[in-house]
Amino acid sequence: MNDSQFHELADNLMNYIEESLDHIDYDIDCEIHGNVMTLTFENQSKIVINRQVAIHQIWLASKVQGYHFDYHEGHWICTRTKQNFMSILSEAASQQAGQTILFN
């Protein structure tokens, strides 16, 4: 994958997350600054998602743990757990919100 392809895939992911927030019955603020997306929950906890352009990865940091994702066969997959990005984001968001949050 080259940098242009990575940016396109990362843009698609970030746009999907942002659009998904409109369909979630919980108030999550979303800010994007450069390569970093910050999701802020009602309790002021945060999930930070950022692009690691040099290594073509997406990183997610929650209040509990951090994850690194590689793009593989159409999905962002965690390098450690092999779970897909949306599953981990849903778990982390649910923990921080104190209720079920699904990004599907």
The per-residue pLDDT for 80 is 95
- Written as six digits, the tokens of 74 are 């159409």
Whether the full predicted model's pTM is greater than 0.95, yes or no, is no
pLDDT at 64 over 90: no
pLDDT at 104 over 80: no
Q: For 76-86, write each residue's pLDDT tens digit.
A: 999 999 999 99
Confidence category of residue 49, pLDDT binned at 50, 70, 90? very high
Buried b (16+ CB within 10 A) or exposed e, 66-76: ebebebeeeeb
Closest CA to 14 of 78, 58, 80, 52: 58
pLDDT at 45 over 80: yes
Fold topology of 3-97: Metal Transport, Frataxin; Chain A (3.30.920)
Q: What is the mean pLDDT of residues 20-32?
A: 92
